[in-house]
Homo-oligomer: A and B are copies of this chain.
Amino acid sequence: MTEATQNKRLRAARSELLEEAEIGTVRNETLIQQRRQQICDAAVELFLEKGFAATTIRDICARSKVNQASIYDYVANKNDILRRVLNQLWFREDVPTLPEILLDRELPLEDAIARYFRESWRLKRKASLLAYRTIPHLPPEDRRAMRLREIAVMKDLADQLQGRLGLEDEDKRLEIVANVLVFLSAFAPMRDWLNRDIPDETLVRTLAAGATAMIRASVEGPMPGPAAEPAPEVATGPDTARHA
């Protein structure tokens, strides 16, 4: 791990959390933290079970054992709960991103990827599901924050891969591959209703091997260009319009 690489500031490290509201009434700071934790814990479970919009404040109160009126002493409103939950789970810093793992140049690519998948699936299961499902319920500025974070991670990853593969020039295809890798880190949570009888570690190693091959293969040969394909049938993106 050369000094230059190690010291390289990762763009993603600068990404910001979603803004949380301030509340006025309750004073005891530790109590606030505790109640908020109760609320968020219950909320995550419910959001995953029923979806954000179908979860009511009453549901959250019942499960978190916080009174229906009191809850507004600890969170500003329903959307504030979602923001806090995402800050805790999606933006958590104890789960390394792949570009961070790749800073260790001693670690072979495949092992790095395996570690990335393993940790993501172990610690960010809920976060991945939640993020992909609740994005439409976020106000535009919050969506933007999440998108910026994702883009930063992807760019970092593309940089790291470029170094690993010993490529001189930027290659657009590396961004595609980076995107896929991040996408695959949500694979197990999003699809764990299938393949249930396969041990997690088999999944990790198989996918890491496959992903490594994919990376290497992706930058071989000439860059494929757009062909004479007709335009897409639909224009609707998940949250931001693609062809706006």
Contact = CB atoms under 8 A, between A and B. Distances in A.
B175 A198 contact: yes
A93 B61 CA distance: 45
A85 to B, nearest CB: 13
User: Max chain B CB contacts within 10 Å: which of A137, A175, A191, A233?
Assistant: A191
A180 B184 contact: yes
Interface in A169-201: 172-173, 175-177, 179-180, 183-184, 187, 189-196, 198-201
Contacts of A238: 48, 129, 189-193
A111 to B, nearest CB: 12
Interface of A: 45, 48-54, 118, 121-123, 125-126, 129, 132-133, 136-137, 147, 150-151, 154, 172-173, 175-177, 179-180, 183-184, 187, 189-196, 198-207, 209-218, 220-221, 223-227, 229-230, 232-234, 236-240, 242
Contacts of A224: 201-202, 204-206
B191 A218 contact: no
6 contacts: A51-B52, A154-B194, A175-B198, A192-B242, A210-B214, A213-B217
Contacts of A230: 122
Contacts of A214: 210-211, 213-214, 217
B201 A191 contact: no
Nearest to A114: B224
A230 B119 CA distance: 11
